[in-house]
Amino acid sequence: MAEKRFIMNAGRTTKQGQQINVGKDHAAYQAIVSTVTMNPEDMKALGITQGGTIRVKSECGEANFLCQEGKVPEGMLFVPYGPPTCHLMGQKTDGTGMPTSKGWEVEVEPVAAEGSETLK
């Protein structure tokens, strides 16, 4: 299946903020920052099921995420900041001290489950 282009936005969530107390290495925190929210129609178009894995590629790098349905506009992704998003960010900060984290143009492709040659 071919890749599809999306606009990706990263940000903080309240659940992520609550989990920071247990540490960034805790499984619950890692699950939050490794899950991307996508419009259900986009998921259907790409053949991605709830909890499926996608590969997201930016001009700076790539990372894999679990995918969940959510209330985001078609053509857009949301993911909480975390180690996976750092693989997608550039190093330029335009003097702000923070790399651009909103409005990234990314490519998304489904990742086949282990032991599976194709996605359905």
pLDDT tens, 15-56?
Answer: 666 566 666 676 877 888 899 999 999 999 999 999 999 999
Rounded to whole angstroms, the Cα distance separating 98 from 110 reads: 29
Report the pLDDT value the prediction gives residue 20, as an integer from 0 to 100. Answer: 64
Contacts of 29 (CB under 8 A, 6+ apart): 16, 19, 20, 22, 23, 82
Backbone angles phi, psi at 2, to 5 degrees: -75, 155
Residues above pLDDT 90, as percent of the chain: 41
Higher-pLDDT residue of 31 and 65 is 65
**Which domains are seen in the chain, by residue range?**
4-111 (2.40.40.20)
Give me the mean pLDDT over the 90-106 stretch. Answer: 66
Contacts of 61 (CB under 8 A, 6+ apart): 87, 88, 89
Q: CA quadruple 52, 9, 62, 82: dihedral positive or negative?
A: negative
- For residue 33 the two structure tokens come to 């920052």
Rounded to whole angstroms, the Cα distance separating 92 from 85 reads: 15
Residues above pLDDT 70, as percent of the chain: 68
